[in-house]
Structure 1
Amino acid sequence: MIDTIKWIDGAGTAKAMILDQTRLPHDISYIECTDYRQVVDCIKYLAIRGAPAIGIAAAMGIALAADAISAADAMEFSAKLRPAIDALLNSRPTAVNIQWAAERIERLIENNKTMPISALKEMIAKEGVLILNEDIEINKAIGRYGAEFIKDGDTVLTHCNAGALATGGYGTATAPIRMAIEQGKRISVIADETRPILQGARLTAWELMQDNIPVTLIPDNAAGELMRRGEIDLCIVGTDRTVRNGDVANKIGTYSVAVLAKENNIPFYVAAPLSSIDFTLSSGSEIPIEERPSHEVTNVFGRCEIAPKGVAVRNIAFDVTPAKYITLILTEKGAFKPEAIHTLDPKGNK
């Protein structure tokens, strides 16, 4: 699996190397970020995407911002770091992982506020790398729990990209698939193309082919017909934010897949690391839903115009799938019914 993001700290220059996913599958190249503003742009313009991956990127962006700060004490240091954190938080509003990463680093600073500023900077940089490494292990744990629900010979439908490219590595929705194959099961994948950015076509299909995992690409609107024909055994998707009642926000089109799966008696699983669960929100109606620029719908790769000039566009980036359509939520702590996900809340929010 190719690295989605790497941290390099040597020769006095720290930098985050971000795989430019806007250029996949035709070109593999990295964007060198030495300033948090570059990380913000990478997140905002989808060079890096996927909830876990942008959480990692945010942590590394904060580390870059911290490295450039001169401060007399932790209070001044935190105040000067705030604009960078706010910029990262505002880069993409739906995924909760950026907030999760920022809060984790803020707690680190608070718990070590008597340390020298140089030591704080080093700790923040190490925390970003730790979040990256933890994410890979979390995904493997999700894979172990999820693989139990995949039988030898199954065909799995997935939507968007919740694979290695959307995470630190291994993937969330692809983790059960990878683990099942490692267990010797013969598994094939059907990937929705995922309009308008085509994450399924450009990213999921590409990364699975790199690992010799059988994958078939379909138009988004073909999923229902394949379900009707009995050619799909289960669905596994990722999530950008899951809330206390088990509602899930994921890439636009996920809700449609979930409804179709329910109608055709097909299990619908959501792979959700705890970092993507927002225990402060009680239902999906409270999740902020990002709307993106119209050119992503009217153009392909920003070059080929496919719609009349001036046409009105709604480019809703995510939708909310109600808990009633979800069979199980797969986490690193186990598989849970949506209505039980609140039991994982470490703070006991009401």
Structure 2
Amino acid sequence: MSGTTTSRRLPAAGAVAALSLLLCSLPPAPAAADATARASTVDVSTAAQLRSALAAAQPGQTIRLAPGVYHGSFVTQRPGTAAAPITLTGPADAVLVNDGPSGSAPSCPVPTAGWDSGYGIWLYGAPYWRLTGFTVRDSKKGIVLDRSPHVVVDGVSVHHVDDEAVHFRRSSSDGVIRNSRISHTGLAQPGYGEGVYIGSAGSNWGCHGDSGGADRSDRVQVLGNRFGPSIAAEHIDVKEGTFDGVIRGNAFDGTGISGQNSADSWVDVKGNGYLIEGNTGTVAEPAVFANGYETHNPSTSPSFPNGCGNVWRDNVSDLGGLGGYAVYVTSTSKCAGDPNVVHASNTVTGALKGLTNIAVTP
């Protein structure tokens, strides 16, 4: 039998192109994927590196702090997105310290060359950030959010600051602070040493208001934090013109409240529609303490009253024989159309006057 030969036919050019397209469309090999993930994380260990990372941050990026003390002014104006927030994270022994302020301050605080705000970390026009794990101390203010909605502050520690610890300002709405620890505020101005400050007083709306109106830092949630001791002003100050926040599951230690500038309660609610539930509050001397929770009704807007429609339930208050009511509601007539509500599920001990000064709702 005669032998036969076979030959291999080379793929046509179209088949080669199709094969190349298929290979390009396949997901990257694990090593390539890991390299991509690493590229989205920026590790920093010096103040200069942190400043550079904040100035160049991109959506989806993580800036990771090494343990250590970072001295200086730390500010970002880089926005994240809902799908790709930016994260600044570090362990508790990664500590931001701002020894400022210095230079000539602008009439309304904006990041300005040659001026150091003194803030520990400042987000300005920087929505969709996650601030997690690290510590801020020895600064004029701790964490300040301006025009920065949808920011989550999680598991941070802020202590030993001159004024307030965390401020949601200039319509920084839909923010969250949770699982964090705040103490030793108001070291320079006791009456201005709030733990968490939501919005702005009506007298400051010219700077911090939205198009000349209120500072609409709405729907801010304060969840599962530990406040005190030595917070010189209110642990949470909810300013007029803000709406629909949640204050839930926090622990308040009022030891050290100063009583200055009417700072004499754990929580002062001047906003509307807040749910205050499941919190635990205690207080002991030294403290100048009037009531656990208070409402006030500043007349700043012709379109809506302030300090109305707030609800308290399942809060446990121990006033230590220093305060009058667990919940003190002022000027009920101003909220006739949207009254504040105190449920019977709230409990109080050590009160000089009782649970509340208004009728209790079952």
Q: TM-score, structure 1 length as denominator?
A: 0.25
Q: TM-score, structure 2 length as denominator?
A: 0.25
Larger strand percent: 2
